[in-house]
Amino acid sequence: MVSEGMILADRYEILSRIGTGGMSDVYKAQDTKLSRFVAIKVLKQEYAENANFVTKFHAEAQAAAGLIHSNIVGVYDVGEDKGLQYIVMELVEGITLKHYIEKKLRLSVKESISIAIQMAQGLECAHKAGIIHRDVKPQNVIISKDGKVKVTDFGIAKAATSETITSNVMGSVHYTSPEQARGGYSDEKSDIYSLGVVLFEMLTGRVPFDGDTTVTIAIQHI
């Protein structure tokens, strides 16, 4: 159980919870060694207890830590303490693209293109390093208070087992590529397709395909 004031790894002081997702909770913390604020993503218990998932989670986090780009949320550290599996990331004060779209309903062509270009630049950096995101969606894009667009959660989707994907797919299936919908191999083009869906949503305020179940939505992408 994470609580305010808790110290992880004799270094990170938990200050407050700032977000939650299907697989993890996110906290604002103080790095007491480097005197800076960071974001710490802590895996929820059901995933932290899955040894296979944890191994992949650490491997993907280590790969993502090598990505240094202004349009990517930086990964600083990954570890385990007090039974908690966590990843330490750059703290970006801002709003997710999903919330931004919900707030504005539709974005202008100029703003949509600007955001898409910044996302593409971050993805290009990852692709050149051989890393595929696999879960590009507005929830994984943060717009900072100064307008900088940053993509986050690289590699987390790859770490997920089929069980974890099943529990989280509803939020991602709207952006899935045809090959992912078929259960096939993902590559750079998968991320580009998902980016196109995000651009469509920014311009129109809605996703191109919708339905009552994940299956009916996925089929429309094929």
pLDDT along the chain (222 residues), means of 10: 94 95 90 97 89 84 90 95 94 96 97 99 95 92 97 73 44 86 86 98 96 90 90
The tally of domains found in the chain comes to: 2
Give CA angle at 76 (169, 56), nearest 5°: 45
Domain-ending residue, one of 45, 63, 90: 90
Where do we find the tokens 């992912």? Answer: 180
Note whether 144 and 178 are same-domain residues. Answer: yes
Boundary (domain end) residue, out of 31, 65, 90: 90
Q: Are residues 60 and 111 in the same domain?
A: no
User: Is 72 in the same domain as 99?
Assistant: no
210, part of any domain: yes
Indicate whether 157 and 170 sit together in one domain.
Answer: yes
Q: Give the pLDDT of residue 204.
A: 98
Does residue 116 sit in the same domain as residue 189? yes
Q: Is residue 2 one of the residues assigned to a domain?
A: no
* Whether residue 128 is found in the same domain as residue 44: no
Residue 180: per-residue pLDDT: 86
For residue 169, is it within any domain? Answer: yes
Same domain, 103 and 186: yes
Q: Which domain holds residue 33?
A: 7-90
Q: Domain holding 205: CATH number?
A: 1.10.510.10
pLDDT at position 171 is 52
Q: 147 and 72 in one domain?
A: no
Burial (CB count <10 Å: 0-12, 13-18, 19+), residue 146 = exposed
CB distance 136 to 150 below 8 Å: no
Are 15 and 77 contained in the same domain?
yes
* Residue at a domain's end among 25, 57, 90: 90
CATH classification at residue 60:
3.30.200.20
Helices (H) and strands (E) in the chain, counts: 9, 9
Q: Is the pTM of this model over 0.85?
A: yes
The dihedral of CA 46, 47, 51, 52: what is its sign? positive
In a domain, 1, yes or no: no
Residue 121: per-residue pLDDT: 99
Whether residue 208 is found in the same domain as residue 189: yes
User: Which residues are annotated as catalytic?
Assistant: 135
